[in-house]
Structure 1
Amino acid sequence: MTEHQLTWRASPAALALTTCAAVALTAGVVGRWWELIVFAAPMLGALGTVMWLPRPAIGVRVEASARMLRCFESESVHFSVDVTACGGAAELEVAPAPSDGYTVEPVGDGDYVVSADRWGRYESALTVTARAGGGLLTASLPVPVTELRVFPLAPPMPTPLPHATLPDRIGAHRTRRFGSGVEFGDIRPHAPGDPLRSVNWPVSARRGRLHVTERIMDRAADVVAVLDTTPQAPGPASESLHRTVRGATQVVQTALQRGDRAGVVVHGLRLRWLGADIGRRQFYRILDTVLDSEAGAAEGTLVPRVALPPRAVVIAFSTMLDTNFALSLLELRRRGHVVVAVDVLRGPPFEYELDPMTGRMWRLERRNMYRNMGVLGVPVVAWDDDSALDLALALADRARRRSGALR
């Protein structure tokens, strides 16, 4: 519940009465026309009734059904608002406030539906118009009602995970080692210490001695999405933030659906992170962390060691225009993490079209940067199509393994 103070002013009707009365009185006194003075008397009486009418309210009290609303893009969510006058009398009229980011539609007495087509944080507001003094006084103010958090929608296509040494934790990723699992690996002669349930009785009966079935170990991974949210120059670079958030959402969503632990690091003017965890609740916590990235956290450019679990798989989304961000990725690779960078920039980051020679030099420079980062152990892959992130990550993993074999 919040209270907002009203600032009263003369209504259009009061201004019209005052103007007509002033003109009639002036003309009547100057021209000595008593008829005009009689004509202005009722208007002056109407203006004077404000002194005998109930005292105007000093403010309005707003009570919303929820302080925070959450939904995904293009979804709608209901909320109700109760607006009352406090400290006096007033006639209130409530209407949705105009906004470019979201839409509020009334569906009943005090009930509204709000929706937004793009992810982000919005402060949904209503416009309260108050009238008092028989319509001679009016006040209008926008009233913030509730905070709307719109989460990005990610394509349902799963994203592949780069090959890495996974931690010793049961999961859904096949490894090259034998141990506890469900996938068939091999059959070998029985050795002391093998559990009885692993004995393959049909093979043992045919060969005349005990044989056991080995299974391929299934392990879980720790996946951390790193987002580059540093301010970019106006143009294609600044518009790439939308693709950065959407790609990170798809990676995190896929990891959590596999049963892996997922976390996020937002790398911008301020550094903010959320440790890796599992479950559906972690998915919404990650989205909240991304939306709250401007709220402030630790300063610095390098990702702290506590933000990433050991041997975590790091998938970074960036325009690759910030040198500090590239250096932070190299530092993560030096710590032993598997790092893959996804370039979300489409073409040159300039608002105007480049001439053919300059455009070719730009492409050569980017290709050289890709090669240098790959040699240092951080493959960079371009993400040209919004619906082909899985193909981009597959190419990045292939390039990483090829560069590792060459070294």
Structure 2
Amino acid sequence: MIGWRASPLISALAACTAVALALAVIAGRWQLILFAAPFLGILVGAARKPAEARAWASDIPDPLRCLESETVTFTASVESSDSAVVYRLRPVHIDGLQITVDEATAPNQVTMHVSAPRWGRYTIAVEVHTVSTSGLWVGAPIPLSVAELRVYPSADPQDVALPPAELPDRIGTHLTRHHGSGVEYADIREYVPGDSLRTVNWRVSARRGRLHVTDRLTDRAADLVVLIDAYPQPLGPATTATERSARGAAQLVQSVLQRGDRAGVVVLGSAPRWLSPDIGRHQFYRVLDAVLDAEEWHSQSTSALAPRAAMPPNSIVVAFSTLLNADFGLALTDLRRRGHPVLVVDVLDRLPFRVEPDPIVARWWRLERSRMYRNIAVTGVDVIAWSQDAGLNHAMHLIPQRQRIGRRR
């Protein structure tokens, strides 16, 4: 609702009327009273405030999407009820957004160019200035949301390797040690009933006098679930490190989807949410929307553990975490107990203290960190450190090359 107050026009009319009446009394000029009479009529008529009015955004666009540092242009329009007229719109300052405004073509419209240097969800609002139809009352400026902007983290185009694992029986691009339909040579064996005639190696069969077939290695697809630690972090380097979790997740999901694999996400924290693995370019933006806690693509959860519905059998789990929260560590252990290969990317590459600690404290912290790595490795969960100076694709080359056999279901 719009709150009304007297406009500068009423103040000017009241001042003119007061001066005219004062001069009429002092100088004895009755003509000045006639001069002030219309002003008095206007003031008497303006004593009654206009009817209640409201303003609303018209033609609200769908959520605007862009990558970091990209610019989005859109036009916001505001309408009002009959007793009010919009005469000016001003964008509301929002931390993290850079907004420039074009010259207005209409009083109730404004064209804005918006960009953001950091990923996140932003609500763009304008300050609405209104005046009554009589022009004697002005409305108090009200903020009005006109659009939602989703800024996605920029993903490094470098390809990222996945941890070794037992892949599901689905055609893909990952070469395995399983025999079946494929391209890579595996072995030659005798023909058994049921083998396809296409696999018969006629040269070997002619030389040995019995039918032989060529076995080949199968190419299978992978299911990846990115696990993100969204628990509250202590102020300082740990809070800054969590930003890298979203960037790493975006790069990993983009790399997996480009290879034709399926990717999903589970975000554990104050508002747990998840998205089942799927393929395609649209899945990339669904995953990013789930990270930003936007749109209806993802499902909500109340458990501190990863939902079973989000974890297909033998899916690979790559977690991004500072490893400072015990509940997140419990979720990692639970996933490994279910039979999933789990890899943790430690995004905290420095001491978590806001000020430089004593050297003894710093050494103690590093020793405790190393001991925690060993304890996690005992449960079957691998941990790699992701330095800020190195790319995720380089850090993933440090994955221990041992086969993780998932539990068959």
**TM-score, normalised via structure 1 length:** 0.85
Q: Which moved more, 1:319-328 or 1:138-147?
A: 138-147
- Paired residue for 2:71? 76
The residue identity in structure 2 corresponding to 1:214 is D
- Paired residue for 1:121? 121
1:219-368 pair list within 5 angstroms? 219-292=220-293, 297-368=300-371
The residue identity in structure 1 corresponding to 2:152 is F
Measure, in 1, the Cα distance between the counterparts of 2:33 and 2:235.
60
Change (3 A) 1:352 1:66: same
Instruction: Indicate whether 1:66 and 2:61 are aligned.
Output: yes
1:33-52 pair list within 5 angstroms? 49=42
Name the one with the larger helix percent: 1
SS of alignment partner, residue 181 of structure 1: strand
How far off its partner does 1:89 sit?
Answer: 4.4
Instruction: Indicate whether 1:155 and 2:153 are aligned.
Output: no
Change (3 A) 1:267 1:50: farther
Q: Which moved more, 1:105-114 or 1:333-342?
A: 105-114
How far off its partner does 1:146 sit?
Answer: 1.4
Alpha-carbon contact 1:313-1:337 (below 8 Å) kept: yes
- Per-residue deviation, residues 28-80 of structure 1 (Å, max 9, x unmatched): 69xx9659x99999899768636658958822232134142222222233333
5+ unaligned residues in a row in structure 1: which ranges?
A: 403-407
Alpha-carbon contact 2:20-2:36 (below 8 Å) kept: no
Change (3 A) 1:190 1:65: same
The residue identity in structure 2 corresponding to 1:272 is R
Change (3 A) 1:210 1:99: same
Alpha-carbon contact 2:119-2:150 (below 8 Å) kept: yes
How far off its partner does 1:147 sit?
Answer: 1.4
Measure, in 1, the Cα distance between the counterparts of 2:367 and 2:58.
59
Measure, in 2, the Cα distance between the counterparts of 1:41 and 1:254.
83
Measure, in 2, the Cα distance between the counterparts of 1:38 and 1:99.
56
Change (3 A) 1:10 1:260: same
How far off its partner does 1:365 sit?
Answer: 0.7
Change (3 A) 1:40 1:328: farther
The residue identity in structure 2 corresponding to 1:170 is I
Q: Pick the aligned partner of 2:382 from 351, 374, 379.
A: 379
Measure, in 1, the Cα distance between the counterparts of 2:95 and 2:40.
40
How far off its partner does 1:170 sit?
Answer: 0.9
Measure, in 1, the Cα distance between the counterparts of 2:40 and 2:97.
41
Alpha-carbon contact 2:344-2:382 (below 8 Å) kept: yes
- Paired residue for 2:400? 397
- Paired residue for 2:81? 86
The alignment of Structure 1 onto Structure 2 pairs a total of residues equal to: 393
- Paired residue for 1:196? 197
Change (3 A) 1:38 1:280: farther
How far off its partner does 1:83 sit?
Answer: 1.9
Measure, in 1, the Cα distance between the counterparts of 2:33 and 2:121.
54
How far off its partner does 1:359 sit?
Answer: 0.7
- Paired residue for 2:6? 10
Measure, in 2, the Cα distance between the counterparts of 1:25 and 1:354.
76
SS of alignment partner, residue 155 of structure 1: coil
Measure, in 1, the Cα distance between the counterparts of 2:27 and 2:288.
75
Alpha-carbon contact 2:60-2:146 (below 8 Å) kept: no
The residue identity in structure 2 corresponding to 1:183 is E
- Per-residue deviation, residues 252-310 of structure 1 (Å, max 9, x unmatched): 11111111111111000232111112222222221111111799932221222222111
The residue identity in structure 2 corresponding to 1:9 is R
Change (3 A) 1:50 1:20: closer
SS of alignment partner, residue 330 of structure 1: helix
Change (3 A) 1:377 1:240: same
SS of alignment partner, residue 392 of structure 1: helix
Change (3 A) 1:95 1:193: same
Measure, in 2, the Cα distance between the counterparts of 1:43 and 1:227.
73
Measure, in 2, the Cα distance between the counterparts of 1:359 and 1:266.
30
Measure, in 2, the Cα distance between the counterparts of 1:40 and 1:91.
36
How far off its partner does 1:158 sit?
Answer: 1.3
Alpha-carbon contact 2:4-2:137 (below 8 Å) kept: no
- Paired residue for 1:100? 95
- Paired residue for 1:405? none
Measure, in 2, the Cα distance between the counterparts of 1:169 and 1:321.
37
SS of alignment partner, residue 388 of structure 2: coil
- Per-residue deviation, residues 83-103 of structure 1 (Å, max 9, x unmatched): 233122425112222122223
- Per-residue deviation, residues 128-161 of structure 1 (Å, max 9, x unmatched): 2223454763531211001111221210111111
Alpha-carbon contact 2:128-2:142 (below 8 Å) kept: yes
Measure, in 2, the Cα distance between the counterparts of 1:352 and 1:47.
69
Q: Which moved more, 1:61-70 or 1:336-345?
A: 61-70
Q: Report % sequence identity.
A: 47
SS of alignment partner, residue 286 of structure 1: helix
